[in-house]
Amino acid sequence: MDLRLTEEQLALQETLRRFIAKDYDFERRRSLALSPLGYSAEAWAQYAELGLLGLPYPEEFGGLGGSGVDIMAVMELVGQGLLLEPYVSTVVLCGGLLRDAAAHAIKEALLPQIAAGKLQIALAAYEAAGRYELAHVASTAVRDANGWRLTGRKSVVLDAPSADYFLLSARSSGNRTDVEGISLYLVRRDAPGLTLQAYPTHSGGRAADLHLQDVYIDDDAVIGAPERALPVIERAVDQGIAALCAEAMGIVTALNAATLNYLKTRKQFGTVLGSFQALQHRMADMFIAAEQARSMAIIAAIQANSDDPATRRRALSGAKAYIGQAARFVGQQAVQLHGAMGVVDELNVSHYFKRLTMIDMTFGDADHHLARFSDALRIEPIGAAS
């Protein structure tokens, strides 16, 4: 076992740390969040130069062949800097999905473009009535003489407004909650019949609800096995979850540092807040929560691309549930211990807290993943009682 980051990973983090300090301070981030695009196009180009956008792809597709731990190292800094760029959607989720499941020709056409910062893709997998269930797909795909005809709605597609393509799930057979019968389509943003209702999110990014009315797709835009796309989508979402876990860990670390600093400097009753034992113990609990969360983020990063779905389920649902709870605790307490300063827009504490909350609500909240983790226990072999 080796639980340390490599020299390269630490160097990558240092590069990002310097980039954030120089080009992405809190005020800059605030104006980006309010801008029409919602993120920095220049930053995106810089990420491409640094190799971040091709990090998880094989070299033959313009990538660096990086691991889940490499992504974790990046995402921790994405969290600390509250970076707004659609890294998870394009690079981790959709690029990762194409890498794992697309035909060679599609990988060749799209992955180098992603790596170069020229192409963005968003995952359109969730529907309102399904909540966090990826198998709940009511959108339909019907085969006719002109190709696949897609109709339906997708809700809260993250980073949709800036995407060039969507990876979109639709059903060509079965009931709306069946595991089988779901296919995945690569849909151009400007496909006739596709409309977007775009909006900002509470943590500064952009998203949209998608409406499809007779959108036609060719056969070669079907990704993975037709009608058996669910495992492919789940695997990609697991990688997205690992990335979000690392982002949350980065935020928790930053919030703890900010709160600790506040406890050491803010004075009331003639002494620093940190001299009150109730707050010392709270801070100690926050520290413990952060360490535990980091361990779970490591488990998630290492198992995110495991070929065994059961191993992934344990690791990723476990991590998302645990980190959701830990982040809730740390986020709420960081706000609380800052007093009124914790609830103002002017200070980054409230923004970290909002981002943690939105991370919990993305790809299934803590309860959702606790349920999945706990359901998996029912089929676990226990061994004979001794």
Ligand X SMILES: Cc1cc2nc3c(=O)[nH]c(=O)nc-3n(C[C@H](O)[C@H](O)[C@H](O)COP(=O)(O)OP(=O)(O)OC[C@H]3O[C@@H](n4cnc5c(N)ncnc54)[C@H](O)[C@@H]3O)c2cc1C
Chain residues binding other proteins by CB under 8 A are 126, 128-133, 135-136, 153, 155-156, 158, 176-177, 195-197, 199-203, 207, 209, 211, 267-270, 276, 278-279, 332, 335-336, 339-340, 342-346, 350, 353-354, 357-358, 361-362, 365, 367, 370-371
Of 145, 340, 379, 385, the one binding ligand X (CB under 6 A) is: 340
Question: Does residue 377 bind ligand X (CB under 6 A)?
Answer: no
Question: Does residue 276 bind ligand X (CB under 6 A)?
Answer: yes
How far apart are the C-alpha atoms of 140 and 176, rounded to whole Å? 9
Nearer Cβ to other proteins (99/354): 354
Site string for ligand X, 291-330 (x = CB under 6 A): ----------------------------------------
- Helix or strand (DSSP H, E) at 292: helix 277-303
Nearer Cβ to ligand X (12/279): 279
Question: Does residue 345 bind ligand X (CB under 6 A)?
Answer: no
Nearer Cβ to ligand X (261/336): 336
Partner from other proteins, ligand X, none binding residue 118, C-beta < 5-8 Å depending on class: none
Dihedral, 173, 178, 180, 181 alpha carbons, nearest 10: 20
What is the sign, positive or negative, of the torsion defined by CA atoms of 355, 356, 361, 364? Answer: positive
Question: In angstroms, how far is the first alpha carbon of the chain from the final one?
Answer: 31
Of 278, 379, 384, 385, the one binding ligand X (CB under 6 A) is: 278
Helices (H), 26-142: 26-34, 41-50, 68-81, 87, 95-101, 104-115
How many residues sit in the footprint of ligand X (CB under 6 A)? 12
Question: Does residue 339 bind ligand X (CB under 6 A)?
Answer: yes
CB 85 within 8 A of CB 29: no
Burial class (CB in 10 A: 0-12, 13-18, 19+), 5: middle
Least CB distance from residue 33 to ligand X, whole Å? 22
How far apart are the C-alpha atoms of 82 and 187, rounded to whole Å? 29
Question: Does residue 380 bind ligand X (CB under 6 A)?
Answer: no
